[in-house]
Amino acid sequence: MPELAKNLKPLLSAQQIQQRIQELAHEIRRDYAEKHPVLVGVLKGAFMFLADLVRELRFPLQCDFLKISSYGQQTESSGQISLQLDTTIPLTGRHVLVVEDIVDTGLTTAWLLEHLQKKSPASLRVCALLDKPARRRVEVPLDYVGFRIPNRFVVGYGIDCAEAYRELDYIGYLADQEENS
Domains of the chain, first to last:
2-177 (3.40.50.2020)
- The 10s digit of each residue's pLDDT in 122-181 is 999 999 999 999 999 999 999 999 999 999 999 999 999 889 999 999 999 987 765 544
Q: Mean pLDDT over residues 114-121, rounded?
A: 98
- Residue 164 CA to residue 5 CA, distance in Å, equals 10
Per-residue confidence at 80, pLDDT binned at 50, 70, 90?
confident
Give the other-Cβ count within 10 Å of 27's Cβ.
Answer: 12
Candidate list 52, 101, 104, 131, residue with the active-site label = 104
What pLDDT is recorded for position 177? Answer: 60
3-class SS of residue 167: coil
- Residue 2 CA to residue 71 CA, distance in Å, equals 24
In percent, the amount of the chain with pLDDT more than 70 equals 89
CA 96 to chain centre: 14
DSSP assignment, residue 112?
Answer: H
Per-residue confidence at 34, pLDDT binned at 50, 70, 90?
very high
Identify the CA nearest to 76 among candidates 171, 153, 165: 153
- Which phi and psi angles does 152 have, rounded to 5°? -135, 150
- Residue 32 CA to residue 74 CA, distance in Å, equals 36
The yes-or-no answer on residue 31 being catalytic is no
Please name the residues in contact with 9: beta carbons below 8 A apart, sequence gap of 6 or more. Answer: 172, 173, 175
What pLDDT is recorded for position 175? Answer: 79
Calculate the average pLDDT of the chain. Answer: 91
Q: Mean pLDDT over residues 14-19, rounded?
A: 98
Q: What is the pTM of this model?
A: 0.90
Task: Please tell me which residue, 108 or 181, carries the higher pLDDT value.
Answer: 108
The CA dihedral of 82, 88, 89, 92, to the nearest 10 degrees, is: 60
Per-residue confidence at 70, pLDDT binned at 50, 70, 90?
confident
In percent, the amount of the chain with pLDDT more than 90 equals 82
- Which phi and psi angles does 78 have, rounded to 5°? -80, -20
Q: Mean pLDDT over residues 52-59, rounded?
A: 97
